[in-house]
Amino acid sequence: PPPRESDPRSPTAPPPIVLELPAGGGYALNGRAVVAGELPSLLEEVYRERRAAVLFIRAAAARPYRDVIEAADVARGAGVQVIGYMP
């Protein structure tokens, strides 16, 4: 059968939000550097308009596990409901 054309009225899914923990420290949200102290308020702002509060965390191998858990705690405090971990 011929391919179906997408319905222009159907909502498109928003892009995923990825919180990166680079090897050198700090954070990046979808590739943009974020100051640690601003992370909670930035996450609250990002998820204010989203239906599903899903966040993916990608940490460099050099980052301690403690950093990943702390980032997840900050995200939960900002209202993130589901956290996925990326290798």
For 44-67, write each residue's pLDDT tens digit: 999 998 888 999 999 999 999 999
In the prediction, which pLDDT does 13 show?
Answer: 74
What is the rounded distance in angstroms from the CA atom of residue 5 to the CA atom of residue 73?
Answer: 42
In the prediction, which pLDDT does 8 show?
Answer: 58
- The two tokens of residue 85 are 């971990």
Predicted confidence (pLDDT) per residue in 64-84, tens digit: 999 999 999 999 999 999 999
Predicted confidence (pLDDT) per residue in 26-46, tens digit: 999 999 999 989 999 999 999
Q: Which of 21, 83, 33 is nearest to 58 (CA)?
A: 21
Q: Is the predicted pLDDT of residue 25 greater than 80, yes or no? A: yes
Q: Is the predicted pLDDT of residue 11 greater than 70, yes or no? A: no
* Residue indicated by tokens 């923990």: 21
Beta-strand pair 27-29/32-34: antiparallel
The H-assigned helical ranges of the chain are 39-48, 65-77
